[in-house]
């Protein structure tokens, strides 16, 4: 099972189609591309402050390991440690950036892949609108979706 967190930008108004286009899904867990390409992945995802912090962390680790006398393996050890940190924390850094920009955590959703997670989320998110609007979701969203809740978790996730 893959888990995504769902975030909505601040001041989301308008019809359902406009709001649904601006919703962001962030995968939970290890990011292989962040591990493999590290600083480039951070820059690709516009994590500027985090890229600077990673460069400072790498320089600090390198200096400490040189003082400990690790020697020729220092650069490899530092690169591996930084890559692991980015791999394990990369998606959390994306969520942190969204939070700083004012995005609201809406929900967590589980599924076999991103498409299924999106389907499960929107299936649970749109029924109040569909009931009010009668078929086509074109009105404003009714109900308070700013309260965190889970979509697609046990027991439905195993179906």
pLDDT digits 0-9 by tens, 114-141: 899 888 988 888 765 455 544 444 333 4
Quick check: 108 and 150 in contact, CB under 8 A?
yes
CA distance 4 to 23: 12
Give me the pLDDT at residue 138, please: 39
Cis bond upstream, residue 155 (ω within 30): yes
Regarding predicted confidence, which is higher, 143 or 77? 77
**Phi, psi dihedrals of residue 24, rounded to the nearest 5°:** -115, 135
Pairing verdict, β 104-111 and 149-151: parallel
For the chain, give the mean pLDDT. 79
Question: Rg (Cα) of the chain, in Å, rounded?
Answer: 20
Give me the pLDDT at residue 136, please: 45
pTM recorded for the entire structure: 0.71
Q: What residue spans of 28-143 are helical by DSSP H?
A: 32-44, 48-67, 74-100, 114-125, 127-133
Tell me the per-residue pLDDT of 59-74, one tens digit each, with 9 for 90 and over. Answer: 888 888 788 887 777 7
Give me the pLDDT at residue 27, please: 93
Our CA dihedral for 144, 145, 146, 150, rounded to 10 degrees, sits at 130
């Amino acid at each position: 099972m893959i888990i995504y967190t769902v975030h909505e930008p601040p001041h989301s108004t308008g019809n359902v189609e406009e709001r649904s286009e601006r919703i962001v899904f962030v995968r939970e867990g290890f990011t292989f591309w962040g591990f493999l390409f590290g600083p480039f992945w951070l820059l690709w995802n516009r994590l500027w402050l985090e890229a600077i912090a990673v460069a400072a962390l790498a320089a600090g680790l390198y200096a400490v390991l040189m003082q400990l006398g690790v020697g020729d393996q220092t650069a490899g050890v530092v690169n591996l440690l930084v890559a692991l940190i980015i791999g394990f924390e990369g998606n959390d850094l994306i969520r942190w950036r969204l939070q700083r920009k004012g995005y609201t955590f809406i929900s967590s959703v589980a599924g076999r892949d991103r498409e299924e997670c999106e389907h499960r989320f929107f299936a649970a998110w749109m029924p109040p609108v569909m009931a009010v609007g009668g078929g086509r979701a074109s009105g404003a969203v009714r109900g308070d979706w700013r309260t965190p809740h889970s979509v697609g978790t046990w027991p439905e996730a195993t179906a």
